[in-house]
Structure 1
Amino acid sequence: MAHNSGSGSSRADRKTIEKNRRNHMKDLYSKLNSLVPHHTSEEGTSLVEQLDEAANYIKRLQQHLDEMKQKKERLMMRVEQKSDVNGSIITSTSSSSSATVGLRSPQVEIHDLGSALEIVLVTGLDCQAVFNETIRVLHEEGAEINNASFSVVDDFTVFHTIHSKVGESAVGFGAARIAERLRELCQG
């Protein structure tokens, strides 16, 4: 008879262990479900449907992350290509605190081409004032602007390219002074 009472106790232990396992799984499902945005009410949604919804949500997040990584790589390649245009870069300034879309710390590169300067200004859409200030600095330093153009990349990065002529008396020294002022402008 001792054998039967031991087996009953063992059976009760297994039932308790299984009940605890089910409760633990239920808690885990609930936690997972709370992390998934829902478009329908949770009532009436089976566990299988909730798991399927969570799996699809995770897949969408992964696709979005992959797209954002590709976009970042394209932007980084374009900035690198812009900096490799001419070997005579006087200055290059950047800041890495541009996590928010549309908000980007300005970057400026100045290529001294003798009596001409090529200025490449990379900004966010929110930095039109930096472009205007760059033009003002060039005028104050006596540079003649031949042309200016811009292109918007991925709806939030703006590449401005400015070609200007520096007077003969300002060649070299004027370019260095312009570079210093523009570096201060982008850092401040």
Structure 2
Amino acid sequence: MKKRSSTSPEKLDRKTVERNRRIHMKALCVKLTSLIPPNHFKPSKEMLSQHDQLDQAATYIKQLKERIEELKSMKALAMSSNNTNNETTNTTTDDFKLPVFELRDLGSSLEVLLISGLKRNFKLYEVISVLQDEGADVVTATCATVGDKVFHTIHAQVKVSRVGVETSRICQRLQELIIC
């Protein structure tokens, strides 16, 4: 009968697997924390324990979910009032003039919201080019059509966080592009 030594390959494999699992989990936590805007964290990220960082990330996600629900209810209300207006007057009335443009600076990331009509649309690649020219990498870009309106949402990450981006310049360039 062979006696197993304490350094058997099976035991080393379990240790290695556990170490790799912990390294992977730490990397995932760092990635999650990097996605949360810096203005959401109360003290600086470095001063928080990993557990506190995860708690604040969960709080931030809950706030985003609440904001989504709020926006969905506002959309439903707007759609129902628009349908009511259309039934009574047989004309489409807009509460706002198209195109609508909004730029949100979230610290190391940007969010661009654009609403245009089907007849007066712009080229999305031009908007992305402006963001890239000004030092931001586009992470996601979504497009949705509701009725006669086209909604664009673009999320961009600042290339060099120390340098940042000049949001006033981006705003000016995008307004020139969209309103033209």
| TM-score (norm: length of structure 2) | 0.48
Larger CA Rg, structure 1 vs 2: 1
